[in-house]
Structure 1
C-alpha cells in the first residue's frame, strides 16, 4: 500500500490530461501521486519516470500506484478519467477523501452530478481543460499543443481551496485562474468539442476538414445545437480557444467562419492531426466517451423542448463506428443537418 500525507495532490487517471498536469506539477516540486488502473503504465512510470514529449521534452520522477495499492486520505483529488469511467472512478476516489477533501474534475463534459453521487455535492469542483495530448506508450505522453485551463466551484463562489490549488496548477500553465462561470466554459468546450467529435466520423486531418467550406455547415450545426441548449438551460456559454460561442448562437457567418479558420490554423501547427475520439476509434479501438459526454446535453435539450435529433445522429454514428458497423467517411457528415448561415 502507498500511504501519503493529506497535502499530497492525487491525480486519479494518469493519461493524456492527468499525466501531463501531474508531470508539470511534480517537476516544480509539488507533492503529486498518480493513480491509474493501467498496470503497465504505472510500472513504467515507477521504473523510468513519466516522460513528456512534444511541446516540452522532459522526464520527471513521480510516484504512481494502481487504485488497489493506494492508502491514506487526501484533501485534493484531480479526477482525469474518460467520462464513461466517471462513476466507478469517483466511487473509488471518494473513499480516500479527508473530512474537508474534494474532487476536481479534469474531464470533458458535465460530470459534477456523477461525482457528487459518490463524494457529496459540496465536495466537487469543475474545470475547463483544453489542450492536445495522447498517451503514446506506457510511461510516455505526447503533449501536442497548448490550450486553456480554468477552474471553478459548481455554484460559482470563490473558495480558498481552489485558490490554493491554482498556485500548484500554475506550474503547468501560468494563465490558470478561477472563474465564477465554470459551467459556461464547460458548455463552450462541449460546443468546440462537438465539432472535433464530428471530424472523427472521417479519416481526414482536422485542419483540412475545418478549412473545407463544403463541410462547415454540417460541423457548425453540431456546435449551434449545443450552445443553444446551454443558453436554454440558463448557462451562458463561454467561447474557448478561438471558438466564438456567440457567433454560433446568433448565426453570425463572419464569426462562425473566423472560428473555423482559427481552429484550422491551430491544428495545422499541432502535432495532434486528428481528435482523441478518432484515436480511440481508429488506433486504440475502444469505446469513446461521446455517449456519456452528449447524454446530459441531449437531456437538457429535451427538457427545454429543443431539437436534439442532430446530436442523437452524431452519437449514433460514433457508436456504429465503435461496433464496426459503419465506416469512416465524408458521407457521414452529410447525415448532420447543415446550418444555413
Structure 2
C-alpha cells in the first residue's frame, strides 16, 4: 500500500515517524525544503514526552509521483487551495483521503475528491514544531488517540484500512457519527487553542488562570449551544462528558465544571496551540476555521457567541499586526468574564 502524509509539520512529522517505525513505507510531503532535507538526511527527531529518531522518506509536493492508496491530510486549512489539488492529482477511485485537520474540514475535501473517498480523523494529541527535522510531542504517550469515521456514517473498508495505519501511533476510536466527533474536537480547539493564542500563552497558562478558566467555560458552553441548535450531540472525549464539563449555573456549578475541565486538559498542560505557533512564526493561522466556524454557525441559527467572537477578533488582530501576542490581552476580555 502506498501511503503519504500531506503536511509533515508538527503533527505530521510525528505521525510519519511512528508509521515508519511500525515498518510501513510512507512519504512525508511538505513544501518546507529545509525540513524535507533534514528528515531525509538525519531522520525524524521526536522529542518531548518521548525521545527517538526514526529514518523517514520525505519529499516536496512537486516530487509526488503516481497514485497513493492512502493520503493522510494534515496541512493547515489555510493551505487548502494549494494542497487539495495536489492530493487530487495523485489519487484514483480506490484511494482514501484521511482528513486530520482542525475545524470541520471534510466538506471542502469531499467537494474536491468525492465524499466516498474521504474519512475524517480528529487528532487527540498535541505537538510543537522545533525546526527542520524535529518535532516535540506534548501529550503523554499513553494518551495518544484518534477518532475516526466517514461522512456517510458507515464503518466501511476505507475506515478500517485507515484505522490499521493510525494505530501505529495510538488508540483509534471508530464512530458512525463523524460530525459529532468533529464538534467535540472543535470545542476542544475553540476553548484552549483559541483562548491561549489570544492571551499569548500555553494551555498551562490558561489552566493556571482562574479568570481565563471562566472564559473557557463560556466558550465551551457557546459551542454546545450552537451544536444543540443544529441538532448535533457531541461525542464524549476519553470518557468525559462535555455537557457536564461545560455546564453553567450558579457559582458552585461553575466551579465544579472548571475543576472537571482542568482534569480533562491537564495532560495537555505543556501544549502551545498550533495557531500560536503559526503567529509566532509569521504565518496565517486557522482562527476562522476554528472559533470562526462556531461564530458563523451561531449566526446562522440565532445563537449568540460573544466570547468566541472576541477570540476571533483578538487572534485575527494579532495576525494582522493590530495587537501583540501577549498575556496583557486579557484586558480585552474583562467585560465578558
Task: Summarize the Cα distance change of 1:87–1:232 in structure 2 as closer, same or farther, 3 Å threshold.
Answer: farther
Q: How does 1:77-92 map to 2 (within 5 A)?
A: 77-92=71-86
* Equivalent position of 2:46 in the other structure: 52
Residue 78 of structure 1 aligns to a residue whose secondary structure is strand
Task: Summarize the Cα distance change of 1:215–1:53 in structure 2 as closer, same or farther, 3 Å threshold.
Answer: closer
Aligned residues: 327
Larger proportion of strand: 1
- 1:163 deviates by 0.9
- List alignment gaps of at least 5 residues for structure 1: 1-6
Task: Summarize the Cα distance change of 1:259–1:89 in structure 2 as closer, same or farther, 3 Å threshold.
Answer: farther
1: CA distance, partners of 2:91 / 2:334:
46
- 1:267 deviates by 4.0
* Equivalent position of 2:208 in the other structure: 211
Matched, 1:181 2:182: no
- 1:191–1:226 contact (8 Å) kept in structure 2: yes
- 1:254 deviates by 5.5
Matched, 1:294 2:294: no
Residue 211 of structure 2 aligns to a residue whose secondary structure is coil
Residue 265 of structure 1 aligns to a residue whose secondary structure is helix
- 2:138–2:268 contact (8 Å) kept in structure 1: no
- 1:298 deviates by 2.4
- List alignment gaps of at least 5 residues for structure 2: none
Task: Summarize the Cα distance change of 1:242–1:44 in structure 2 as closer, same or farther, 3 Å threshold.
Answer: same
From 264, 276, 288, the equivalent of 1:278 is 276
- 1:336 deviates by 6.6
- 1:11–1:32 contact (8 Å) kept in structure 2: yes
Q: CA RMSD in A?
A: 2.1
- 2:93–2:117 contact (8 Å) kept in structure 1: no
Normalised to the residue count of structure 2, the TM-score between the two structures is: 0.90
1: CA distance, partners of 2:221 / 2:237:
15
From 187, 191, 195, the equivalent of 2:187 is 191
- 2:247–2:257 contact (8 Å) kept in structure 1: no
2: CA distance, partners of 1:159 / 1:151:
11
Residue 11 of structure 1 aligns to a residue whose secondary structure is strand
- 1:87–1:114 contact (8 Å) kept in structure 2: no
* Equivalent position of 2:147 in the other structure: 150
Normalised to the residue count of structure 1, the TM-score between the two structures is: 0.89
Residue 74 of structure 1 aligns to a residue whose secondary structure is coil
- 1:211–1:260 contact (8 Å) kept in structure 2: no
Matched, 1:9 2:3: yes
